[in-house]
Structure 1
Amino acid sequence: MKKILIIVPDGGMLFESAGIADILMQANQLHTDGLARPRYHINIATTQPHQVIHTGRGQNEQEGTDVVDWLRLAAPHARRIASICGGAMLLAQSGLLNGRRATTHWKLLETMQSTFPEVKVEEGPLYIQDGPIWTSGGVSSGFDLTLALVEEDYGFSLARDIAQDLVMYLHRPGGQLQFSRYNLRQTCSSGPISDLQAWILENITADLCVEALAEKVAMSPRNFTRIFTRETGVSPARYVSEARLAAAWQHLEKTSDTLDRIAANTGFGSSINLRRIFEKQLQLTPGEYRQRFHCRNVIIFCHLRHKARDLK
């Protein structure tokens, strides 16, 4: 039997801890014939003395410090430690992630990397295992991590049966990536680079090679690349690629345009280039992305438009 302690901060999302507990309880209930005791013994704890968890409020600093201190003491006695979403920040603060690969919610990735440079932060995966330490991305990716723990403990068949009973993916399509809204890196102060970033977003189909951008701000390509990277944290080529990819996302989500038209309107030139970038960055085709994130109103509108045309 595995003993699982789930620590829920005050202000945390309750469906997160409840969902994890439900997955583990489902493991206890399935195929119980011949089991002398349940597979998992589950406890849910909070740091609050009143033992009541309030949702919708942020974790206070003292609570975080208490959890970090406890983690340092408990880690040597635990077979594995897992974090969900922003919980990875507490693991990093405790030093348990030093030298290890880890992930967290996409909004916290840059903060985590800059605050804890000894952690090998990875963006994209729903969860990462590095030795006895498991970390996951956004809230629902904790469910993916929990299924992976069950599979490690009791095998593929049990994890698959749980996923089927709860109508979940055992392994999500798309290379197990967590999707983020692109937060294009803006400079903190006004100036030529900030103005250029705004111009790029408004002229996404223009010639945005380094030489053309450098000429626009009256710099040499080498000096421009150095200053742009210093002020934004990414190279000009990376920024342009992210800007075009973000624009393509919006077109796929909000329009019924063909891939050729989207590619032309976002600077990719052809649907082949668009597909290549999507598969490289997201491990999904543009069509698969559209299927998962397309606005329902667009689908309804397109259906009604086709119906009206048929009636003519």
Structure 2
Amino acid sequence: MKNILIIVPDGGMLFESTGIADILMQANRLHTEGLTQPRYSVTVATTQPHQVIHGQSGLNLLADHRLAQLAPDETRDTIMITGRGQSEDEACAVTDWLRLAAPYARRVVSICGGALLLAQSGLLDGRRATTHWRLLETLQAHFPRVKVEGGPLYIQDGPVWTSGGVSSGFDLTLALIEEDYGFTLARDVAQDLVMYLRRPGGQLQFSRYHLNQARSSGPVSTLQTWILSNLAADLSVEKLAEHIAMSPRNFTRVFSRETGATPARYVAEARLAAARHRLEQTTETLEQVAVATGFGSSLNLRRIFEKQLHLTPGEYRQRFHCRKMA
């Protein structure tokens, strides 16, 4: 039997921890012939002195233990952290305990913002890791030794697993079951719970559109606004530099300093964001979307989507289109 300790900081989304526990318990219920004990034993711990975990929804969860009551040198199969908590004191309580406990666990797992606590404990140094897309820049900025990746739903690097936001922890949990007990059990758990064992289109977080904006008003900020209204135009560095009367070299330096992105990267991200928006909100053909957003043809649009999002434009529209278009 594999014992799983789930550490649930206060103030997060409780369905992360309870959903993971339900998935593991479903693994216990299936194919029990010949089993002398359950596959998983789940324990929930909190940093709170009263053992009540307050969820951001207003609902509460009663933990099995206070984290301070648990011996860190006890042998454990898996330690999971769901979220990063609401205070520095709580974060330190978790990370201090985790530094002592990690050597005695087979694997350590984070869900969503829990990656920040793994990083703070030093467990992510030199490792690939992910977290919720809103926290990717924070993770990289505060912990430069972590190899942060923004795309995957979850990442395994040796004994350490990290996942993206919220429900991606369920994808990770199915992957843990598959690693522990094989494909068939993981597939059957997914089917019983009406989940994807592996989501179509690859394992990818879909962040909202995030375009680097100039730090202050001025020529660069004005140019960014113009770019968004003229995505089908020639947006080469030379043309953009000419638009605000700069040399290409000086323009690239100033634009990168003001926005944190090169002109080419900004244009590429702006075009992709606009294409995503049109696929979500309009019934335009793929060719119309491609032309309007500066990709030129549906073939180029498809290539970019497959490279950046691991989906075709048609598959993206099917998954994210506005319901009124159905």
User: Would the TM-score normalized by the shorter structure come out above 0.5?
Assistant: yes
2:242 pairs with one of 203, 206, 215: 215
Structure 2 CA distance for aligned equivalents of residues 98 and 53 of structure 1: 29
Does 1:255 find its partner at 2:258? no
Structure 2 CA distance for aligned equivalents of residues 122 and 2 of structure 1: 29
SS of residue paired to 2:317: helix
**Structure-to-structure mapping, 1:185-204, within 5 angstroms:** 185-204=212-231
**Structure-to-structure mapping, 1:167-182, within 5 angstroms:** 167-182=194-209
Structure 2 CA distance for aligned equivalents of residues 222 and 70 of structure 1: 51
Q: How big is the shift at 1:168?
A: 0.6
User: Displaced runs of 4+ in structure 1, greater than 4 A?
Assistant: none
Deviations 1:155-196 (A, max 9, x none): 111000000100111111112001110111112222222222
**Matched residue type, 2:123:** L
Corresponding residue number in structure 1 for 2:294: 267
Deviations 1:17-75 (A, max 9, x none): 11100110011111111111111110011110111111118612211111111111111
Does 1:154 find its partner at 2:181? yes
**Structure-to-structure mapping, 1:20-31, within 5 angstroms:** 20-31=20-31
Structure 1 stretch 120-129 or stretch 267-276: which is displaced more? 267-276
Corresponding residue number in structure 2 for 1:306: none
Corresponding residue number in structure 2 for 1:102: 129
Structure 2 CA distance for aligned equivalents of residues 195 and 130 of structure 1: 43
Structure 2 CA distance for aligned equivalents of residues 189 and 20 of structure 1: 44
**Matched residue type, 1:189:** S
Q: How big is the shift at 1:206?
A: 1.7
Question: Could you say what the CA RMSD is over the residues aligned between the two structures, in angstroms?
Answer: 1.1
SS of residue paired to 2:112: coil
Corresponding residue number in structure 1 for 2:61: none
Deviations 1:224-275 (A, max 9, x none): 1122222222211111011011111111111111011111111111111111
Structure 1 CA distance for aligned equivalents of residues 97 and 230 of structure 2: 52
SS of residue paired to 1:53: strand
Structure 2 CA distance for aligned equivalents of residues 188 and 56 of structure 1: 32
Q: How big is the shift at 1:148?
A: 0.5
Corresponding residue number in structure 2 for 1:163: 190
Structure 1 CA distance for aligned equivalents of residues 215 and 141 of structure 2: 16
Corresponding residue number in structure 2 for 1:305: none
Structure 1 CA distance for aligned equivalents of residues 36 and 24 of structure 2: 17
TM-score for both structures, normalised by structure 1: 0.93
Structure 1 stretch 127-136 or stretch 256-265: which is displaced more? 256-265
How many residues in Structure 1 have an aligned counterpart in Structure 2?
A: 299
Corresponding residue number in structure 2 for 1:141: 168
Deviations 1:120-160 (A, max 9, x none): 00111000000000000011100000000010000111000
Structure 1 CA distance for aligned equivalents of residues 101 and 255 of structure 2: 45
**Matched residue type, 1:5:** L
Does 1:12 find its partner at 2:12? yes
**Matched residue type, 1:46:** T
Structure 2 CA distance for aligned equivalents of residues 83 and 244 of structure 1: 33
1:93 pairs with one of 112, 120, 130: 120
TM-score for both structures, normalised by structure 2: 0.89
Q: Which 5+ residue runs of structure 1 have no aligned equivalent?
A: 300-312
SS of residue paired to 1:79: strand
Corresponding residue number in structure 2 for 1:310: none
SS of residue paired to 2:250: helix
SS of residue paired to 2:106: coil
Q: How big is the shift at 1:115?
A: 1.3
Aligned identity (percent) is: 77
Higher strand share: 2
SS of residue paired to 2:32: coil
Structure 1 CA distance for aligned equivalents of residues 251 and 141 of structure 2: 24
Corresponding residue number in structure 2 for 1:246: 273
